[in-house]
Amino acid sequence: MASGLACASAANLSRPNVVLIYGDDVGYADVGVNGATQIDTPNIDQLAAGGLNFTDGHSSASTCTPSRYSLLTGVQAFRHNVRIAPPNEPLLIDPDAMTLPRLFKQAGYSTGIVGKWHLGLGDKDTGPNWNGALKPGPLELGFDSAFLLPTTNDRVPCVYVDGHHVVNLDPNDPIYVGDTLADVQIAGSTQYPDARKDSNEVFYKSIVNGIGRIGYMSGGQSALWDDYTSTDVFVGKACEFITEHRDQPFFLIYSAQDIHIPNAPNQRFKGATKLGSRGDAMVQLDWAVGAILEELERYGLSENTIVIFTSDNGPTHHDDSYPSTEKVELYSPKSGNGHDASGPWRGGKYEIYEGSTRVPLVIRWPAQIQAGTSQATVNQIDFMASFANFLNVELSADEGRDSRDALAALLGEDATGSELLIEEGRGVALRMGDWKFIPAMAPKYARGFWPLEDCLYDLSKDVGEQNNLILQYPEKAQSMSLRLKELKSSKSIRAYSQTH
């Protein structure tokens, strides 16, 4: 009897549920456990208290689409020149490719995604058919279900997608999406105000639900989301997924949109911080984390579910101003309000400093992972090979070719992690332990987001990347520059790392 039980629990331990909570533009220090004092995040802090909090955990890139591309494919975004996707981008991932959800499916899991997608939808030649079947998309990549915010919350179309279809679409008011007003000025379809005619909204093109958006849209009025209740909708869908799949192993990505502009949290979070709508939206995200944890607890799943909390890139300190809500300077160090979303690290979203990709990373698995802090260097691109090892799925050389097995670090059994870490922004930089090398970029490409000269930093003495040591350590710089070139031109970072 006893050995039968032990057997059963061993089987469970080899296939715990996995819930990946993926924040959008959440900076390293937007969470209490990493030093935020102006934003209360009790649920994320509690998750961290029961799990492993990484101080050197990275998104694969400093913007959303490239990061998510690498997370799901295990392939570096620079290989395919993946950039922030516009509203009508076709699906960016090859439907035949190995993906993170497919890996879980091969191991017998049910798989789902709820929330922000931003990896394109539809055929590569035709793009998304907003009024028909939106495929290929996540369902063609290994997800059993997908309830999506298809692009970003500051982009059109402002509608939910469930599986292959826009939710609540009235066929008599079809959706048109385009780059120019002429693309969407279709007789009979609902028109939205032209943002260019509103002096407050010149940054945007259309005004939908009173908020400026990137891209033009018309039609689809009955399908429009409400920005102020979308987190409630997504949390509801995530809880439904957990309820439905509670008796079998599942993999769920909850992809939160909260603190990406326009920062439109629900009224009940208004004033939750003194930092304005972005701070309040972070409290909303923390609430969402709490609601998901509670749902797991309700079914007795907390013990044997791996919950990961992380972010797709660092916080923006740049040009994402949002006149229709509140200014984002409220959380930059310049504001003097005591909140710097990047914490000790320099820079943020779009850039190439540590604050660009070094994001919160908490992994909790009460049944197996000892709580604490880890300084191991880990990268989300390595989730694929790590989970492949964990689930006993063999990856061929071509599958997730840049993803390396970092399972021991993720489980807290290796305190060092990856010796080589690629960081992606407008280009590619390299970390080797505490050393960081950023190759110069020409001004017309750098555009204020990348240094114009080669930089070498020693993070062990200079966490803020202030002292460029390029002249003091020319040999170090040269060897890292060479290593970076080799990595970039290698076919597979996994294969390269195994032979060097």
> Kind and range of the H or E element at 176?
strand 176-178
Q: Which amino acid is at 452?
A: L
Burial string for 466-487 (b: 16+ CB within 10 Å, else e) reads eebbbeeeeebbeebeebbeeb
Q: Provide the minimum distance between the beta carbon of 281 and Ca ion in the complex, in angstroms, as a whole number.
A: 13
223 touching ligand NG6, by CB under 6 A: no
Neighbours of 4 (CB within 10 A): 8
Secondary structure class of 362 (helix, strand, coil): strand
Q: Could you say which of Ca ion, ligand NG6, none residue 154 binds, taking C-beta under 5 to 8 angstroms by partner kind?
A: ligand NG6
119 touching Ca ion, by CB under 5 A: no
Q: Could you say which of ligand NG6, Ca ion, none residue 118 binds, taking C-beta under 5 to 8 angstroms by partner kind?
A: ligand NG6
* Burial grade of 240 (CB within 10 A; 0-12, 13-18, 19 or more): middle
Report 381-400 residues binding ligand NG6 (CB under 6 A).
none
320 touching ligand NG6, by CB under 6 A: yes
Nearer to ligand NG6, 41 or 153 (CB): 153
Q: Which stretch binds ligand NG6 (CB under 6 A): 162-170, 180-188, 288-296, 312-320?
A: 312-320
| Rg of the Cα atoms in the chain | 22
Given candidates 34, 43, 73, 152, which one binds ligand NG6 under the rule CB under 6 A? 152
Residues touching ligand NG6, count (CB under 6 A): 14
Q: Which stretch binds ligand NG6 (CB under 6 A): 93-101, 269-277, 313-321, 455-463?
A: 313-321
Q: Could you say which of ligand NG6, Ca ion, none residue 319 binds, taking C-beta under 5 to 8 angstroms by partner kind?
A: ligand NG6
Which residue's CB comes closest to ligand NG6?
64
Q: State the Cα–Cα distance between residues 113 and 47, nearest whole angstrom.
A: 21
Q: Which amino acid is at 442?
A: A
Are 67 and 356 spatial neighbours (Cβ–Cβ below 8 Å)? no
Q: Could you say which of ligand NG6, Ca ion, none residue 31 binds, taking C-beta under 5 to 8 angstroms by partner kind?
A: none
Q: State the Cα–Cα distance between residues 10 and 266, nearest whole angstrom.
A: 43
| Phi, psi for residue 367 in degrees, rounded to 5 | -65, -25
Given candidates 15, 58, 102, 118, which one binds ligand NG6 under the rule CB under 6 A? 118
Nearest Cα residue to 74 out of 496, 408, 387: 387
Nearer to ligand NG6, 313 or 377 (CB): 313
Report 305-344 residues binding Ca ion (CB under 5 A).
312-313
Report 241-260 residues binding ligand NG6 (CB under 6 A).
260
Given candidates 214, 224, 361, 388, which one binds ligand NG6 under the rule CB under 6 A? 214
Report 76-95 residues binding ligand NG6 (CB under 6 A).
84
Nearer to ligand NG6, 17 or 152 (CB): 152
Beta strand residue intervals within 267-406, DSSP E: 305-311, 361-364, 372-374, 378-379
Given candidates 64, 149, 184, 406, which one binds ligand NG6 under the rule CB under 6 A? 64
424 touching Ca ion, by CB under 5 A: no
Neighbours of 74 (CB within 10 A): 32
Report 125-144 residues binding Ca ion (CB under 5 A).
none
Q: State the Cα–Cα distance between residues 381 and 364, nearest whole angstrom.
A: 19
Task: Pull the structure tokens for residue 229.
Answer: 């209740």
25 touching ligand NG6, by CB under 6 A: yes
Neighbours of 170 (CB within 10 A): 14
Nearest Cα residue to 224 out of 259, 190, 195, 258: 190
Report 30-69 residues binding Ca ion (CB under 5 A).
64
Nearer to ligand NG6, 260 or 404 (CB): 260
Q: State the Cα–Cα distance between residues 451 and 116, nearest whole angstrom.
A: 31
Sign of the alpha-carbon dihedral angle for 58, 303, 3, 394: negative
Q: Provide the minimum distance between the beta carbon of 1 and ligand NG6 in the complex, in angstroms, as a whole number.
A: 53
Task: Pull the structure tokens for residue 227.
Answer: 């920005």
Q: Provide the minimum distance between the beta carbon of 310 and Ca ion in the complex, in angstroms, as a whole number.
A: 12
User: Which residue has 């495929």 as its token pair?
Assistant: 135
Contact footprint for ligand NG6 (CB under 6 A)? 24-25, 63-64, 84, 118, 152, 154, 214, 260-261, 313, 319-320
Contact footprint for Ca ion (CB under 5 A)? 24-25, 64, 312-313
